Amino acid sequence: MAMALVFKTAMQSVGLSLSLLGWVLSIITTYLPHWKNLNLDLNEMENWTMGLWRTCVIQEEVGKQCKDFDSFLALPAELRIARVLMFLANGLGLLGLLVSGFGLDCLRIGQRQQDLKKRLLILGGVLLWTSGLTALVPVSWVAHMTVQEFWDETIPDIVPRWEFGEALFIGWFAGFSLVLGGCLLHCAACSAPAPRASGHYAEAEMQTQCPHVENETADPKV
């Protein structure tokens, strides 16, 4: 039984850590101007990058210069929708982290409401893997459009082609981390519940599972 409790707590910790990592990387992906890269064959000293908010040119002599997009409506459809979906993914990820955090067994708040904590953990897990899927959609769509444009035979060969930028790979890793973290939290919540302990044994059991939590004792009132 003790091993099951340790495994459940470890699953919650790993799931929350993966989700937090995925959420941070999702925010970084949203603002990185490296969704697409363009290298000019005529001038190898000049590289172009494109993100959801700006385009940048990197020149060896001048350095890096960026310009924000003038109009949201003037953007290609995949970039417009990518902005909306990435904002949605970041918001769902933050909400999922907050909700699942209150459902962790290590959190002393709501110790006597295990059913509520279980529902919060399940809801947080669902929000997190939904956030991951929402982040994977725009990243994969931009990658798909980049491949289509790269192999478009109607474009002359002399015209430079956009290629995958670093932000796409970070976005894929962020999305999969959120999905995996949310699934781990959901599995931890749905695992077989441990029998209720009482008195000092319950207190000692909780301290064994969560040694990092400050030791606080509560005297129940009859």
Amino acid at 45: M
In terms of pLDDT, which residue wins out, 160 or 23? Answer: 23
Confidence of residue 95 (pLDDT cuts 50, 70, 90): very high
Give the pLDDT of residue 7: 76
Confidence tier at 125 by pLDDT (50, 70, 90): very high
In the predicted structure, residue 105 carries a pLDDT above the cut 80:
no
Confidence of residue 111 (pLDDT cuts 50, 70, 90): low
Please, what are the domains in the chain?
2-35+72-195 (1.20.140.150)
Neighbours of 110 (CB within 10 A): 13
- Say yes or no to pLDDT of 170 above 70: yes
pLDDT higher than threshold 60 for residue 197 = no
pLDDT of residue 219: 47
The rounded distance, in Å, linking the Cα atoms of 52 and 77 is 11
**Residue 24 — φ and ψ, nearest 5°?**
-65, -45
Question: What was the pLDDT predicted at 104?
Answer: 84
- Answer whether 15's CB lies under 8 Å from 124's CB: no
pLDDT attached to residue 195:
45
Write down the pLDDT at residue 2. Answer: 66
Mean pLDDT within 208-221: 46
Choose between 12 and 1: higher pLDDT.
12
**Token duo for residue 163:** 């290629």
